[in-house]
């Protein structure tokens, strides 16, 4: 039995606050994996998460640049 939840193009657009045309464009460019169900596309949530992860500017776990610089300065000053 099918237990996965699929997202419509509209739901994806609403979640990431972009237009439906943008979502369709990502699908057309094969940047966002989607399933073609006749005239409609469906996206598996993990595929949306993977797409968003590849478009991050930096990882969430990374410390800010200033904080990393200050830590280095403290180490240098203490040595």
Residue of 52, 53, 33 lying closest to 43 (CA atoms) = 33
pLDDT tens for each residue of 16-47? 999 999 999 999 999 999 999 999 999 999 99
What local confidence, expressed as pLDDT, does residue 58 receive?
78
Higher pLDDT, 10 or 4: 10
Q: Give me the half-sphere count of Cα atoms (radius 13 Å) on the Cβ side of residue 27.
A: 20
Question: 15 falls in which pLDDT band (50, 70, 90)?
Answer: very high
Q: Which two tokens stand for residue 69?
A: 């610089």
Average pLDDT along the chain: 84
34's enclosing H/E stretch is none
pTM of the shown model? 0.69
33 CB burial (10 A radius; 0-12, 13-18, 19+):
middle
DSSP string, 56-69: -SS-TTSPPHHHHH
Structural domains in the chain plus CATH codes: 7-78 (1.10.1660)
């Amino acid at each position: 039995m099918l237990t996965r939840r699929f997202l419509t193009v509209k739901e994806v657009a609403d979640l990431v606050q972009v237009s439906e045309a943008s979502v369709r464009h990502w699908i057309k460019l094969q940047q966002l994996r989607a399933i073609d169900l006749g005239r409609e596309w469906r996206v598996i949530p993990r595929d949306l998460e993977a797409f968003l992860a590849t478009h991050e500017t930096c990882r969430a776990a990374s410390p800010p640049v200033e904080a990393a610089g200050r830590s280095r300065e403290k180490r240098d000053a203490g040595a």
